[in-house]
Structures are given as structure tokens and as C-alpha cells.
């Protein structure tokens, strides 16, 4: 092993170890609460599992080189790594596509996503990705397609091979990556357009009615108090006195009219409660949308350098520079490391399960 190999293996071992530990922080607490998770949260937990699978393969390869002090590796075991790495990468893309699909169904189609649909999506995407990853073995070409790459920390498809079988499988893998990625872009453009319309209409209605968020909250609290009094048989004295004053005084001033209109608005609890409920639901959906955009965006950023190196090797039939290939693999590893951090920031349910487990451990 030369200096570059030691650097590659040491860096990979460090990043992969940290990434696996962070992913386990999300996976373990939520496995116990798997039935209470929403379909989107279930996909996110599976995404952390997929990321851990990729990082575990990187860690195994790099740690083995460091322990032995050489770059020798069993070709058959390398083929197993190649299958697992390819499956993990494709399934990660499938899960990100699922997050986008669920947001699209909820925001654009105005439909809910059932747990049965979420489970069916998980099973179908896993089976499809496993089939694609197994194509080299189905074609009896696993030994020449799944090989150790020049960085010696990644066993995957030999993109630079020019034989027909490798070319066909390489383009299948690239198509499986590019088609969902472009579809996600179109979907988020539609989602952004829909969300912009909703918020534009909401702001316009707020301007017309003269309602601010704080004003709505204050009147909502007054409404709740007056409504509870009315249910208990009490009559709100302030409202009654203002109404009597406005009714008897036919030449009332503008101030009295304004006061009466405010009191009349405060006597409409159903309208305010529906508006408050709708705003709370929209806020929740926007938070979930931001979570999906963050995860998908992180995935695209992390995998774009590797995709560029892959397409370059397929088109030219030559290997990319080792340093660029290593940098692309580190982008992938950092994506796998940062995904659970994004999840903890945006997903309240998953974060609550993690905090609850650690709280019980402290007690």
C-alpha cells in the first residue's frame, strides 16, 4: 500500500464508522415503534438502513486493507460487496423517489397515503433493485462486472469495460438512476407551484380581512373563552353591553361601529377554528415537504459526482482519475452520514422516539 492507499482507507474507515453510528441512532429507537410511524417516516428509517448497508461495505473493505497492510481481496467476496453496494445505492434512490411521490400525492392529488401503500412500495422497490443488482449473476458475468475499483474501497460495476454485457447492465443502472431523478425534479416543480398558489391565496385573504397571525391567535383565544362561557350558561357581559350600545345609538360613532364589528367577528368560533386548524395542517405538510426536499437534494448532491465519473467511464471506456473517483465516493459517504441528521431536524416523530429511548436509558 502506498501513501494514497493509506489515505483512502483511513479516511473511508473514519467517515464510514461515524456514519454507521449516526444512522443507528435513528434506526434502533424507531424499530421498536415501526407500527406507529407514518409511511413517509417508514421510508426514512429504511433509507437510513440502506445508507448503513453502503457504509458497512465501505468500512469492511477499507478496514480489511488497513489490517492486512495490502490491497489483496477475494474476488468472490468482492462480487458480494458489489451486489450489496449496487442494491443499496439503487434502493436509496427508490426511497427518495418514494418520499417525493408521497408528497406529490398529498399536495397535488389531495389524497392520503395509506400504510398498506407504503409497505407495498417498499417491497416492490426492494425487489426491483435486487433484481437489477443481480443482473451480472443472471448473465453469468459477475466476475468481470463486479470488480475492485482503483481506490480499493469500492467493489461495484466495472463501468469502463467495453464488452456488450457490461455495457448493457451499465446503461440499465444509469437509466434507473436518471429516470427517477428527472421525475423528482418535475414533481417538485409542480409541488412548488401548488404551494406558492396556496400561500399566495392565504396572504391575499389575510390582507383583505386585515388579519395578522398574532391577531388571529388573540381573537381565537377570546373566542374559545366566550364559547366556553356560553356553554356553561353565562352571557359575556362585554359583548352584550357593546351590542346594546350600538343598537340603541343609531347615530353611533365610527369607533363604536368598529368595536361592534370586532365583537361580531369574535362570535364566529367555527370559522376561526377551521382557519386555525387548516393553517396548522398546512404548516405540518410544509415541514414534511421541506424534509423531503432536503433529503432528496442531499441525495442528488452526494451522488452527482459519482454519476459524472460513471458516465465518463461508460462513454470513454477509460478509468477516471483515482483522486476524482475517491472524492466522488466520499460525497456518497457524506450523503449517507448526513441523512440521519436531516431526519432528526425535520421529523418530529422520529426525533421523539430517539429522545424517548435515550431518556429511558438514562433513567
Separation of CA 298 from chain center? 9
216 vs 203, 207, 253, 317, CA distance in Å? Answer: 13, 13, 25, 64
| Rounded Cα–Cα distance for residues 83 and 95 (Å) | 18
Tell me, rounded to whole angstroms, the distance of Cα 68 from its chain centroid.
38
Q: CA quadruple 187, 121, 43, 171: dihedral positive or negative?
A: negative
Mean pLDDT in residue range 102-113? 85
pLDDT number for residue 190: 82
User: Any alpha helices (H) in the chain, and if so which ranges?
Assistant: 3-31, 39-68, 75-107, 115-133, 135-138, 142-145, 164-209, 213-231, 237-248, 254-266, 269-316, 322-346, 348-362
Kindly report, residue by residue over 3-20, the tens digit of the pLDDT: 888 999 999 999 999 999
Cell output for 103: 408528497
The CA distance from 315 to 164, in Å, is 13
- Residue 135 contacts residue 64 (beta carbons within 8 Å): no
Mean pLDDT estimate for the chain: 78
Q: For the chain, give the percent of residues with pLDDT over 90.
A: 30
Candidates 23, 159, 4; CA nearest to 92 is 23
- Average pLDDT on 205-225 reads 46
- Range 245-264 average pLDDT: 42
| pTM for this model (two decimals) | 0.73
pLDDT at 119: 93
Res 271: pLDDT: 47
Inter-residue contact 288 to 103 (CB < 8 Å): yes
Asked which of 59-73, 86-100, 249-263, 340-354 is least confident by mean pLDDT, the reply is 249-263
More confident of the two residues 185 and 286: 185
- Mean of pLDDT values over 205-228: 45
Report whether 83 contacts 133 (CB < 8 A): yes
Render pLDDT for 261-295 as a digit per residue (tens, 0 to 9): 444 344 444 444 544 555 665 666 666 677 777 88
Please say if the pLDDT value at position 120 is more than 50.
Answer: yes
Amino acid at each position: 500500500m502506498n501513501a494514497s492507499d493509506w489515505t483512502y482507507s483511513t479516511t473511508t474507515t473514519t467517515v464510514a464508522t461515524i456514519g454507521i453510528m449516526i444512522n443507528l441512532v435513528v434506526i434502533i429507537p424507531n424499530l421498536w415503534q415501526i407500527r406507529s410511524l407514518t409511511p413517509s417516516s417508514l421510508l426514512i428509517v429504511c433509507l437510513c438502513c440502506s445508507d448503513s448497508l453502503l457504509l458497512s461495505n465501505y468500512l469492511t473493505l477499507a478496514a480489511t486493507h488497513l489490517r492486512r497492510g495490502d490491497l489483496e481481496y477475494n474476488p468472490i467476496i468482492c462480487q458480494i460487496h458489489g451486489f450489496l453496494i449496487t442494491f443499496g445505492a439503487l434502493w436509496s434512490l427508490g426511497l427518495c423517489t418514494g418520499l417525493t411521490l408521497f408528497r406529490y400525492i398529498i399536495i397535488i392529488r389531495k389524497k392520503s397515503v395509506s400504510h398498506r401503500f407504503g409497505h407495498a412500495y417498499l417491497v416492490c422497490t426492494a425487489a426491483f433493485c435486487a433484481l437489477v443488482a443481480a443482473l451480472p449473476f443472471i448473465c453469468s458475468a459477475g466476475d468481470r462486472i463486479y470488480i475492485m475499483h482503483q481506490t480499493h474501497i469500492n467493489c461495484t460495476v466495472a463501468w469502463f469495460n467495453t464488452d456488450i454485457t457490461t455495457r448493457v447492465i451499465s446503461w440499465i443502472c444509469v437509466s434507473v438512476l436518471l429516470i427517477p431523478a428527472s421525475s423528482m425534479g418535475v414533481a417538485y416543480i409542480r409541488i412548488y407551484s401548488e404551494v406558492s398558489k396556496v400561500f399566495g391565496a392565504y396572504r391575499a385573504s389575510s390582507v383583505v380581512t386585515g388579519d395578522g397571525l398574532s391577531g388571529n391567535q388573540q381573537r381565537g383565544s377570546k373566542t374559545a373563552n366566550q364559547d366556553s362561557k356560553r356553554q356553561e350558561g353565562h352571557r359575556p357581559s362585554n359583548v352584550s353591553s357593546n351590542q346594546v350600545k350600538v343598537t340603541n345609538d343609531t347615530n353611533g360613532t365610527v369607533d363604536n361601529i368598529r368595536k361592534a364589528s370586532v365583537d361580531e367577528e369574535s362570535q364566529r368560533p367555527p370559522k376561526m377554528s377551521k382557519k386555525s386548524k387548516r393553517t396548522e395542517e398546512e404548516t405540518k405538510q410544509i415541514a414534511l415537504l421541506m424534509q423531503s426536499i432536503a433529503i432528496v437534494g442531499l441525495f442528488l448532491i452526494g451522488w452527482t459526482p459519482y454519476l459524472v465519473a460513471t458516465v465518463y467511464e461508460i462513454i470513454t471506456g477509460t478509468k477516471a482519475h483515482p483522486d476524482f473517483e475517491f472524492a466522488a465516493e466520499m460525497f456518497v459517504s457524506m450523503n449517507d452520514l448526513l441523512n440521519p441528521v436531516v431526519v432528526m431536524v425535520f421529523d418530529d416523530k422520529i426525533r421523539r422516539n430517539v429522545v424517548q429511548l435515550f431518556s429511558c436509558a438514562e433513567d
